[in-house]
């Protein structure tokens, strides 16, 4: 049996594809990186983690509306938010993964000259090819107890 002179390149190419496929970030890692970028108020890092056609839905009571459509509006909204709330941050209290969907309970913290506090909300992120494509963000509610990294529940299906 003779080997083609291109065989070593073919084997190397297949190996490189296998390595790059195994190095892909898991959906939960993408969501965690997005929350980290949010906490750093790094709008550019946030934009790097979302698809250009991002759609962000807000669900309140029996109504669902499109809050953000496209990265331009995410950039404008987050820039304005961080200017208004320079102390704003979020922590993931619970996280569950099912395929490309990551559901989280986030606790958002804020502080202004007149007020400070926190509230919780559930969100579902759809992550495809390491980018957030859609987010469904549910109405906020009071949190049950203070969040800590040890409290976050992680389940992957």
Mean pLDDT by 10 residues, the chain (157 residues): 48 39 75 97 97 96 94 95 92 96 96 88 97 97 68 54
> Which candidate, 104, 108, 100, 111, places its Cα nearest to that of 141?
108
For the chain, which domains are there?
Answer: 25-156 (3.10.450.50)
Of 146, 138, 149, 126, the C-alpha closest to 28 is 126
Q: Is the pTM of this model over 0.85?
A: no
Residue 112, pLDDT score: 80
Report the C-alpha gap between 92 and 104 in whole angstroms: 7
pLDDT of residue 29: 97
- pLDDT value at position 11? 40
Task: Determine the 3-state secondary structure of 156 from DSSP.
Answer: strand
Residue 21's pLDDT is: 41
Q: Which of 101, 144, 142 is nearest to 123 (CA)?
A: 101
Instruction: Take residue 50 and report the two structure tokens written for it.
Output: 């979302």
């Amino acid at each position: 049996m003779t080997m083609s002179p291109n065989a070593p390149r073919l084997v190397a190419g297949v190996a490189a594809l296998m390595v790059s496929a195994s190095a892909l970030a898991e959906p939960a890692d993408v969501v965690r990186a997005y929350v980290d970028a949010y906490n750093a108020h790094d709008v550019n890092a946030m934009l790097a983690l979302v698809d250009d056609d991002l759609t962000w839905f807000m669900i309140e009571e029996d109504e669902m509306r499109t809050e953000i459509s496209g990265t331009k509006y995410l950039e404008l909204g987050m820039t304005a938010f961080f200017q208004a709330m320079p102390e704003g941050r979020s922590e993931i209290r619970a996280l569950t993964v099912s395929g490309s969907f990551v559901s989280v309970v986030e606790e958002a913290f804020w502080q202004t000259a007149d007020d400070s506090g926190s509230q919780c909300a559930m969100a579902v992120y759809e992550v495809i090819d390491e980018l957030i494509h859609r987010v469904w963000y549910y109405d906020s509610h009071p949190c049950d107890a203070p969040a800590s990294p040890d409290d976050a529940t992680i389940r992957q299906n």
